[in-house]
C-alpha cells in the first residue's frame, strides 16, 4: 500500500536557520532516502516551496486563495511517497525522517495519508 508522507514545517523557524544549519539538516535526508530506496520503501519525494494556493468551492463558486487550506502556522514543506505493508510499517518508515525527530523547537511534523484505491479506478 502506498502512503503520502506530508512534511509540515514552520517557515519562520526554517528561515531563522543559518546556511550551515540548513545544509546540515538537508544532509540528514539523503542517507534516509538511500536507505528507503535500498529497502524498497521509497517511491518518490521532493521538497516544496513555502508558497501555498488553496482551491475550494464556496457557495457554488470556485475560490482561489493564498495560504494553506487549514489555519495553521505550519505549511507542507515536502512530500514523500512510500510503500509499506500497513500503517504500522508506514509509521516506522516515516519516523526515520529527520522532520519526525526535530521536536517542537524544529517546528516540523509528519502526516501520513494512505492512497485511496477508489480515486484511481
Per residue of the chain (121 residues), give pLDDT as tens. 888 888 888 888 888 999 999 888 888 888 988 999 999 999 988 887 776 666 667 788 877 777 655 556 677 778 889 999 988 898 988 888 877 777 666 777 788 888 765 444 4
Domains in the chain, please, with CATH? 2-115 (3.30.70.1060)
Give, as one character, the DSSP assignment of residue 76. E
Q: What is the pLDDT of residue 4?
A: 87
* b/e 31-54 (16+ beta carbons within 10 angstroms → b): ebeeebeeeebbeebeeeeeeeee
- pTM for the model stands at 0.68
**pLDDT score, position 18:** 93
Amino acid at each position: 500500500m502506498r502512503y503520502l508522507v506530508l512534511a509540515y514545517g514552520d517557515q519562520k523557524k526554517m528561515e531563522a536557520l543559518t546556511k550551515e544549519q540548513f545544509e546540515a539538516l538537508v544532509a540528514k535526508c539523503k542517507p534516509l532516502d538511500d536507505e528507503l530506496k535500498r529497502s524498497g520503501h521509497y517511491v518518490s519525494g521532493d521538497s516544496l516551496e513555502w508558497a501555498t494556493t488553496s482551491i475550494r468551492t464556496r457557495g457554488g463558486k470556485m475560490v482561489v486563495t493564498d495560504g494553506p487550506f487549514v489555519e495553521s502556522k505550519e505549511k507542507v514543506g515536502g512530500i514523500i511517497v512510500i510503500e509499506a505493508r500497513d500503517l504500522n510499517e508506514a509509521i516506522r518508515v516515516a519516523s526515520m525522517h529527520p522532520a519526525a525527530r526535530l521536536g517542537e523547537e524544529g517546528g516540523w511534523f509528519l502526516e501520513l495519508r494512505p492512497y485511496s484505491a477508489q480515486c484511481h479506478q
